């Protein structure tokens, strides 16, 4: 897996190499200092040579300064590499997501995509920065210290043959257990969070059913489970330190005993003995450091996997052709179309759809929840690709157009549309970047949005909050319609886009479609029959199939479903007559 | 579509992309009122006073044994190693072993106790915060975003737990070690301590400079992080619109420029963060170098002996570690205190006002003469009123709701309801009609006292609703909302939310009433099918059917339906109409409807506009009046 991330580092290869070099050299220079100190004790003091002592002292200062310089270098280079890596990764993910189809987007949840771009990248770039410093430093420290220790006295260094394996094995055993507990802890965390989240979202339900006590006891249970697991996990982690201390102290005592004997027999000098003890600490500390790094890395492995999933997801709708063909008109043909969301599912969501829509027609689509109305229209701008059959726009298979060309000619107002932070004008310009203010105003007027925009003090300059939360549902829908109209599309699709708009306004909007978008094919999904009644063609969907198609009069005769819906809705119509 | 709009506007101002998200824990969050936060946190910790004292004792033991261990190097070298006294050396080493084991044992003990204390404390914090939240008024939830509240349970609690786990004990132990080491150094050589003091001052000075610099760069990084994360959030949420409008390239372009800004700022911040270790570490080595040369000279001059020098050098290595440690942990502690402050903020909010003493009780059938309280399930309810002179009185619950001259606003100065008066006779179906923002949902929110009215009076069977305990008031009102929320659990669990002790049969009965039984039967595990993510595996209509069944099983005398069928298409709506009719039978019902066809059979229809009731009457009456309702009904209305 690590290999797959290398390309994202390649831009910062120099920083990586320099950083690693700096870290390694820093550790080495630091480690020589205690050795130099031993010369002060063994040579300088023993020979009562002040000049030598000062010389050695200056040497040590110089080494500390060199180490510091390398340390600063390592801090800088690892920050450059780590943050650069993070930025590249975010960029890679973001660009990839822009190529996702609806199906790809749906296979992740929005919240999870956001975490993968933010928190997970953070964790990973931290690992790179820390890894470059620690993962280099620890082994260099370990090896350098061992080499120096052996060179001081190989026999005495034999003590490590016992100390190191004992520490390594016990650290390994602890980490192994801790990992299990941490997976469990993650589940417990989710458990707590779900209760809080649902409580927050459903607080009106909680209050109106007077379930506060029930919620408290639900939370308490999850909270207790979390606490128990957390105590187990952290209780185990804190074993690390005392075990390391025990091993270190036993080693020191052993070295004192054997080393003391050697000093007596003259095989070792006192200064060397003390510096030896310093190296004991360094060696064991570096092992501790390694174990800590591994713990950190295991945590970032989960993040790495999640990020990789985003990067490796194959966009299932992409350009099949290099040729950029213009779309001649807004005719739409469905030829024996089959489609299912779930690749492995047995049932098709759309089955055997045959439909011919002529350019400039107004088409209404009605049907119950889950009858696949939305699915049907989403195939036109290739938000999904058909499984069988084909969809033709302007007489040509939609897959034979460039996606950009196709979608620029097909405007769609989604059921759940999003407005973005920025002014109303900026939002409308999504439809056409280069639109004149006049065009914008006329689109807003046609979508009956002008009336409320003008009521705002700032008019078109009114700043919308993220998601347009400072607008009502109906206002959002009207802005979305205006935005789509600005595209001057060949085909305009409205997916239940006037549900929050009152009937009178709805009628007005449809009227302006008729007048302003004469050439455009208008496809309108609606709940209210009134919204589609005067359409040239009304398609009645039922359970993924076209149950009937025709104009209002025909359907009143031929379609039971249509008649049914009509009678249930014919509010006031007869009064009007 | 609902009248929550006004208050939402308010809440959105309070959330900014900086406010939450993964970036927060890295920042420098300073508590505003450190003293009082510390005191409050202290109160939580004081529950574990005994254990805390034990912790300090163990920390003391562990630090002292560490210091003593180094001290023994001196006699070990001077008295035993150099003269070659092996039996003495063995004794000394055994003593050393004992001290070290004690130290290791003590350091395990205090760390383990601290884990218990910290986990128990954050458990208490979480519990109190959640319990507190259950009592807070809806206004609180309107004015805080979910993300912001969630982050108190995640980020804020996390930092507190980490600070208690590591930093608290770490800082105590650092302070003790530092003091102990300095004392020992003075004991060993009052002369050499001068050298150490100069060096320590230098280290301290340098770390302050770095901290100040890095603080500056960190706040820059935080700002850029919010800038990028906010963009990511918004674009990912609007991803489908991006596709439809071919906005991908522009989004990438904008993202890249923001991303680059973040990279630059973060690189600087991380460089400084990375500087702390090498600078402090190498300053420690510098200290070591200077000390050993000066010590060497002093030894040559005969002022020091070798044992003292070796011991002293050992301390020199130990003395800078605590400084290093404290400087690392101080930020953690500050962050934790800032988090704690946010948590205590919630805990000090005022609860919902609930001074009502009148409760709802089951009574025996009143037809038999006089009613009296019973435990049996009689389907007859009454308000238990305690009067001053008489013992108590039972007022039968009928569902007679009256609003008298009610004024209400979510935000001061922006009235939503103006002088509204209305009455619903028991068993009647009352419908509210009006455009968005007219105040329909608000009226129902006031009946169950989600919000407090500013003036006027709302009575329920002749009793001021403020006199009724909230629990009883809400128990008597069933509610089906436009925004449906289901909980993680089985379908049966979700229906049972309306009545916790409902039998399986009652659950099925309620589902049948709401016409939900059919589709539930066809779910993979029927009533035992697990729902998660707010019932994400169900369609909108199915979720609504479950929420209607949930209200049905509660069997409330009064029912509020707030656009309960808005997300169900007309065909499905027809299917559940029968169930709904059955559910409404014999109850007082308040209906807010989007489709006028669903309220035609209401006893009284109230037309609201701009916070006032402008028309009232039956469907036929109102059509005859040829007023607003007529216009709405025939689709002629010019709504704002």
In angstroms, the CA A536 to CA A513 distance is: 13
Residue of A nearest to B547 (CA): A205
Q: Residue B22: list chain A partners with CB under 8 A.
A: 115, 118-119, 122
Cα distances from B364 to residues A340, B376, B382, B418, B586, in angstroms, run: 58, 8, 9, 40, 18
Residue B612's Cβ-side half-sphere holds a number of Cα atoms within 13 Å equal to: 5
- The partner residue sitting opposite B636, judged by closest CB among A215, A245, A504, is A504
Axis crossing angle, helix B192-237 with helix B306-347, rounded to the nearest 10: 30
Place of tokens 């404390």: B121
Domain presence at residue A407:
yes
Residues 6+ apart with CB under 8 A from B6: B410, B411, B414, B416, B437
Domain presence at residue A275:
no
Cα–Cα nearest to A186, from A219, A116, A233, A221: A233
A414:B69 CB<8 A: no
Kindly state whether residues A133 and A42 are assigned to the same domain.
yes
Q: Residue B288: list chain A partners with CB under 8 A.
A: 33-34, 37, 60, 64
- So what's the pLDDT on residue A363? 93
A368:B246 CB<8 A: no
* H or E element, residue B544: helix B540-554
Q: Examine the pLDDT at A535 and tell me if it is beyond 60.
A: yes
The mean-pLDDT minimum among A288-297, B146-155, B379-388 falls in B379-388
Q: Residue B10: list chain A partners with CB under 8 A.
A: none
pLDDT single digits (tens) B140-186: 888 787 777 888 888 789 889 888 888 888 888 889 889 999 998 99
In sequence order, the β-bridge partners of residue B382 are: B361, B396
Question: In a 10 Å sphere around its CB, with 0-12 CB exposed, 13-18 middle and 19+ buried, how is residue B249 labelled?
Answer: exposed
Which has more pLDDT, B536 or B195?
A: B195
Nearest CA to CA, how far is A263 from chain B (Å)? 7
In angstroms, the CA B544 to CA B563 distance is: 11
- Determine which of B244, B534, B609 to mutate to test the interface with A (most A C-beta atoms within 10 Å): B244
Phi-psi region of A529 (alpha: psi -120 to 50; beta: other; left: phi over 0): alpha
A64:B104 CB<8 A: no
- Determine which of B25, B293, B607 to mutate to test the interface with A (most A C-beta atoms within 10 Å): B293
Q: pLDDT band at B514, cuts 50/70/90? A: confident
pLDDT single digits (tens) A48-62: 888 898 899 899 999
Q: Examine the pLDDT at B489 and tell me if it is beyond 60.
A: yes
| Backbone angles phi and psi of B460, in degrees to 5 | -135, 115
Cα–Cα nearest to A490, from A360, A334, A395: A360
Domain presence at residue A221:
yes
Kindly state whether residues A14 and A122 are assigned to the same domain.
yes
- So what's the pLDDT on residue B438? 72
- The partner residue sitting opposite A260, judged by closest CB among B81, B100, B481, is B81
Q: Examine the pLDDT at B27 and tell me if it is beyond 70.
A: no
Residues 6+ apart with CB under 8 A from B613: B420, B421, B422, B606, B607
Q: Residue B252: list chain A partners with CB under 8 A.
A: 94-95, 98
- So what's the pLDDT on residue B495? 93
Nearest CA to CA, how far is A169 from chain B (Å)? 18
8-state DSSP, A151: H
Q: Residue A243: list chain B partners with CB under 8 A.
A: 104
Residue of A nearest to B299 (CA): A45
Q: What is the 3-state secondary structure (H, E, C) of A221-288?
A: HHHHHHHHHHHHHHHHHCCHHHHHHHHHHHHHHHHHHHHHHHHHHCCCCHHHHHHHHHHHHHHHHHHH
pLDDT single digits (tens) B330-351: 778 888 888 899 899 999 988 8
Kindly state whether residues A231 and A370 are assigned to the same domain.
no
Structural contact between residues B430 and B603, judged by C-beta atoms closer than 8 angstroms: yes
A564:B634 CB<8 A: no
Q: Residue A216: list chain B partners with CB under 8 A.
A: 130-131, 134
Percent of chain A with pLDDT over 90: 29
Domain presence at residue A459:
no
- Residues B587-598: what's their mean pLDDT? 77
Nearest CA to CA, how far is A66 from chain B (Å)? 9
For chain A, helix (H) and strand (E) counts, in that order, are 24, 12
Kindly state whether residues A311 and A257 are assigned to the same domain.
no
Place of tokens 């994400």: B536
Domain B18-347 in this protein, CATH class: mainly alpha
Residue A345: give its domain's CATH number. 3.40.50.300
In angstroms, the CA A449 to CA A467 distance is: 17
Long-range contacts formed by A296-301: CB under 8 A, 24+ apart:
A296/A126, A296/A127, A296/A130, A297/A127, A297/A131, A298/A179, A299/A123, A299/A182, A300/A123, A300/A124, A300/A126, A300/A127, A301/A1
In angstroms, the CA B17 to CA B23 distance is: 10
B275:A72 CB<8 A: yes
Nearest CA to CA, how far is B295 from chain A (Å)? 9
Kindly state whether residues A518 and A405 are assigned to the same domain.
yes
pLDDT single digits (tens) B539-562: 777 888 888 899 888 888 888 888
Structural contact between residues B303 and B216, judged by C-beta atoms closer than 8 angstroms: no
Report residue B231 CA to chain centroid gap. Answer: 24
User: What distance separates the 2 farthest-apart alpha carbons in chain B?
Assistant: 120
Cα–Cα nearest to B556, from B521, B588, B525, B603: B588
A110:B112 CB<8 A: no
* H or E element, residue B158: helix B157-162
Residues 6+ apart with CB under 8 A from A106: A341
Give the three-state DSSP class for B22.
coil
- So what's the pLDDT on residue B390? 57
Residues 6+ apart with CB under 8 A from A107: A313
Name the residue range of residue A399's domain. 332-418+489-576
State whether CATH 3.40.640.10 applies to domain B401-633. Answer: no
Q: Residue A53: list chain B partners with CB under 8 A.
A: 293, 296-297, 300
B112:A95 CB<8 A: no
- Residues A167-174: what's their mean pLDDT? 90
Structure tokens at B319: 């003395």
Residue of B nearest to A27 (CA): B278
Structural contact between residues B552 and B498, judged by C-beta atoms closer than 8 angstroms: yes
Domain boundaries, chain B: 18-347, 359-396, 401-633
Q: Residue B539: list chain A partners with CB under 8 A.
A: 369-370
Cα–Cα nearest to B293, from A334, A57, A290, A23: A57
Structure tokens at B545: 């059917």
- The partner residue sitting opposite A408, judged by closest CB among B1, B246, B301, is B246
Residue of A nearest to B105 (CA): A242
Number of structural domains chain A divides into = 3
Structural contact between residues A526 and A511, judged by C-beta atoms closer than 8 angstroms: no
Report residue A502 CA to chain centroid gap. Answer: 38
Nearest CA to CA, how far is B597 from chain A (Å)? 6
Domain presence at residue A178:
yes
- The partner residue sitting opposite B297, judged by closest CB among A50, A95, A246, is A50
In angstroms, the CA B11 to CA A67 distance is: 53
Residue of B nearest to A76 (CA): B271
Residue A308: give its domain's CATH number. 1.20.1560.10
Our CA dihedral for B279, B285, B291, B295, rounded to 10 degrees, sits at -170
B299:A45 CB<8 A: yes
Residues 6+ apart with CB under 8 A from B36: none
Kindly state whether residues A146 and A190 are assigned to the same domain.
no
B296:A44 CB<8 A: yes
Q: Examine the pLDDT at B233 and tell me if it is beyond 60.
A: yes
Nearest CA to CA, how far is B225 from chain A (Å)? 9
Phi-psi region of B535 (alpha: psi -120 to 50; beta: other; left: phi over 0): left
Residue of B nearest to A227 (CA): B119
Query: Average pLDDT over chain B, rounded to whole?
Result: 81
Cα–Cα nearest to B141, from A354, A204, A443: A204
Percent of chain A with pLDDT over 70: 97
B266:A83 CB<8 A: yes
Kindly state whether residues A208 and A336 are assigned to the same domain.
no
- Residues B256-260: what's their mean pLDDT? 93
> Length of chain B in residues, anyone?
640
Nearest CA to CA, how far is B81 from chain A (Å)? 5
A274:B275 CB<8 A: no
Kindly state whether residues A350 and A230 are assigned to the same domain.
no
- Determine which of B119, B198, B328, B497 to mutate to test the interface with A (most A C-beta atoms within 10 Å): B119
In angstroms, the CA B316 to CA B309 distance is: 10
Kindly state whether residues A129 and A170 are assigned to the same domain.
no
Which has more pLDDT, B485 or B577?
A: B485
- Residues B295-303: what's their mean pLDDT? 88
Structural contact between residues B361 and B381, judged by C-beta atoms closer than 8 angstroms: yes
B93:A239 CB<8 A: no
Kindly state whether residues A101 and A15 are assigned to the same domain.
yes
Q: What is the ipTM of this complex?
A: 0.81
A57:B290 CB<8 A: yes
This prediction has a pTM of 0.76
Kindly state whether residues A77 and A98 are assigned to the same domain.
yes
In sequence order, the β-bridge partners of residue B408 are: B417
In angstroms, the CA B455 to CA B453 distance is: 6
Q: pLDDT band at B2, cuts 50/70/90? A: very low
Kindly state whether residues A161 and A143 are assigned to the same domain.
no
């Amino acid at each position: 897996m690590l290999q797959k991330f290398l390309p994202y580092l390649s831009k910062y290869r120099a920083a990586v190499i320099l950083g690693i070099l700096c870290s390694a050299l820093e550790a080495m220079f630091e480690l020589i200092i205690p050795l130099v100190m031993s010369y002060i004790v063994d040579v300088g003091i023993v020979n009562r040579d002040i000049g030598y002592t000062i010389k050695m002292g200056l040497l040590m200062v110089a080494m500390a300064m060199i180490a510091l310089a390398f340390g600063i270098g390592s801090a800088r280079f690892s920050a450059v590499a780590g943050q650069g890596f993070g930025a590249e990764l975010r960029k890679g993910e973001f660009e990839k997501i822009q190529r996702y189809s609806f199906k790809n987007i749906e296979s992740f949840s929005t919240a999870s995509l956001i975490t993968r771009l933010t928190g997970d990248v953070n964790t990973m770039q931290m690992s790179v920065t820390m890894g470059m410093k620690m993962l280099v430093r620890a082994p260099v420290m370990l090896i350098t210290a061992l080499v120096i220790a052996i060179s001081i006295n190989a026999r005495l260094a034999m003590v490590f043959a016992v100390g190191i394996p004992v520490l390594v094995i016990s650290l390994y055993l602890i980490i192994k257990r801790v990992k299990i507990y941490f997976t469990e802890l993650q589940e417990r965390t989710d458990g707590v969070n779900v209760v809080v989240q649902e409580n927050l979202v459903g607080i009106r339900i909680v209050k109106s059913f007077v379930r506060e006590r029930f919620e408290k006891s639900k939370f308490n249970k999850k909270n207790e489970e979390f606490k128990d697991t957390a105590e187990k996990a952290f209780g185990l982690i804190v074993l690390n330190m005392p075990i390391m201390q025990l091993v270190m102290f036993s080693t020191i005592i052993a070295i004192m005993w054997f080393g003391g004997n050697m000093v007596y027999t003259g095989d070792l000098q006192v200064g060397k003995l003390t510096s030896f003890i310093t190296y004991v600490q360094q060696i064991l500390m570096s092992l501790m450091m390694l174990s800590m790094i591994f713990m950190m890395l295991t945590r970032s492995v989960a993040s790495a996997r999640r990020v990789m999933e985003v990067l490796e997801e194959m966009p299932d709708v992409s350009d099949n052709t290099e040729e950029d063909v213009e779309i001649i008109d807004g005719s739409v043909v469905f030829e024996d179309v089959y489609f299912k969301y779930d690749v492995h599912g047995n049932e098709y969501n759309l089955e055997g759809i045959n439909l011919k829509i002529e350019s400039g027609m107004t088409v209404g689509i009605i049907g119950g929840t889950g009858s696949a109305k939305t699915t049907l229209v989403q195939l036109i701008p290739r938000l999904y690709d058909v499984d069988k059959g084909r969809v033709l726009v302007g007489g040509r298979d939609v897959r034979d157009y460039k996606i950009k060309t196709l979608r620029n000619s097909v405007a769609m107002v989604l059921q759940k549309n999003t407005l973005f932070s920025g002014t109303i004008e900026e939002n409308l310009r999504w439809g056409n970047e280069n639109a004149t203010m006049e065009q914008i105003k006329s689109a807003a007027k046609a979508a009956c949005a002008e009336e409320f925009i003008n009521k705002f003090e700032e008019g078109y300059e009114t700043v919308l909050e993220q998601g347009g939360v400072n607008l009502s549902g109906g206002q959002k829908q009207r802005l979305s319609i205006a935005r789509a109209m600005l595209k001057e599309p060949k085909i305009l699709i409205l997916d239940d886009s006037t549900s929050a708009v009152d009937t009178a306004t709805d009628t007005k909007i449809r009227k302006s479609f008729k007048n302003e978008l004469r050439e455009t094919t208008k496809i309108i999904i609606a709940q209210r029959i009134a919204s589609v009644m005067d359409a040239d063609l009304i398609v009645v969907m039922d359970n993924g199939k076209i149950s009937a198609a025709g104009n209002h009069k025909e359907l009143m005769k031929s379609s039971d479903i249509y008649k049914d819906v009509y009678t249930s809705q014919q509010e006031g119509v007869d009064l009007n007559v | 579509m609902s009248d929550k709009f006004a208050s939402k506007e308010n809440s959105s101002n309070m959330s900014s992309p900086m406010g939450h998200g993964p970036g927060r824990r890295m920042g420098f969050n300073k508590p505003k009122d450190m003293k009082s936060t510390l005191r409050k946190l202290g109160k939580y910790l004081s529950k574990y006073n005994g254990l805390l004292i034990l912790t300090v004792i163990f920390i003391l033991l562990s630090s002292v044994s560490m210091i003593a261990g180094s001290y023994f190097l001196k006699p070990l070298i001077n008295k035993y190693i150099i003269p070659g006294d092996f039996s003495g050396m063995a004794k000394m080493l055994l003593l050393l072993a004992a001290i070290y084991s004690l130290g290791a044992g003590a350091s395990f003990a205090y760390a383990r106790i601290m884990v218990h204390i910290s986990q128990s404390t954050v458990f208490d914090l979480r519990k109190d915060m959640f319990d507190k939240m259950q009592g807070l008024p809806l206004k609180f939830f309107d004015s805080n975003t979910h993300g912001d509240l969630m982050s108190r349970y995640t980020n804020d609690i996390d930092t507190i737990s980490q600070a208690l786990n590591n930093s608290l004990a770490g800082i105590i132990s650092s302070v003790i070690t530092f003091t102990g080491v300095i004392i020992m150094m003075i004991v060993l050589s009052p002369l050499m301590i001068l050298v150490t003091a100069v060096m320590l001052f230098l280290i301290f000075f340098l770390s302050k400079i770095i901290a100040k610099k890095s603080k500056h760069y960190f706040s820059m990084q935080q700002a850029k992080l919010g800038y990028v994360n906010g963009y990511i959030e918004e674009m990912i949420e609007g991803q489908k619109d991006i596709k439809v409008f071919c906005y991908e390239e522009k989004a990438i372009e904008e993202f890249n420029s923001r991303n680059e800004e973040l990279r630059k700022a973060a690189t600087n911040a991380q460089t400084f963060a990375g500087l702390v270790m090498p600078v402090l570490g190498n300053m420690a080595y510098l200290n070591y170098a200077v000390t050993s040369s000066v010590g060497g000279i002093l030894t040559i001059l005969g002022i020091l002996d070798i044992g003292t020098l070796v011991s002293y050098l050992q301390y020199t290595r130990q003395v800078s570690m605590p400084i290093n440690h404290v400087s690392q942990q101080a930020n953690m502690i500050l962050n934790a205190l800032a988090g704690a402050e946010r948590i205590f903020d919630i805990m000090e909010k005022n609860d919902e006002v609930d001074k009502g003493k009148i409760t709802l009780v089951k009574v025996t059938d009143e037809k038999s003469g006089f009613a009296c309280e019973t435990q049996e399930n009689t389907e007859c309810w009454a308000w238990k009123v305690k009067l001053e002179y008489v013992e108590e009185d039972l007022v039968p619950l009928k569902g007679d709701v009256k609003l008298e001259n009610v004024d209400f606003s979510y935000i001061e100065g922006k009235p939503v309801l103006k002088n509204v008066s209305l009455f619903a006779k028991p068993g009647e179906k009352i419908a509210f009609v009006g455009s968005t923002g007219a105040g329909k949902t608000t009226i129902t929110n006031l009946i169950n006292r989600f919000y407090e009215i500013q003036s006027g009076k709302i009575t329920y069977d002749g009793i001021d609703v403020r006199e009724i305990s909230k629990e009883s008031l809400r128990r008597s009102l069933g509610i089906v909302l436009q925004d449906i929320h289901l909980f993680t659990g089985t379908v049966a669990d979700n229906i049972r939310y309306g009545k916790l002790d409902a039998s399986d049969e009652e659950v099925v009965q309620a589902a049948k009433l709401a016409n939900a039984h059919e589709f539930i039967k066809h779910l993979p595990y029927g009533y035992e099918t697990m729902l998660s993510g707010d019932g994400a595996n169900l369609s909108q209509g199915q979720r609504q059917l479950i929420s209607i069944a949930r209200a049905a099983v509660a069997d409330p005398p009064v029912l509020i339906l707030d656009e309960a069928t808005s997300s169900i298409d007309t065909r499905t709506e027809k299917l559940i109409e029968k169930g709904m009719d059955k559910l409404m039978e014999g109850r007082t019902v308040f209906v807010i409807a989007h489709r006028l066809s669903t309220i035609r059979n209401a006893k009284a229809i109230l037309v609201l506009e701009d916070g006032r009731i402008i028309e009232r009457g039956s469907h036929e009456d109102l059509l005859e009046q040829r007023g607003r309702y007529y216009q709405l009904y025939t689709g002629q209305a010019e709504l704002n």
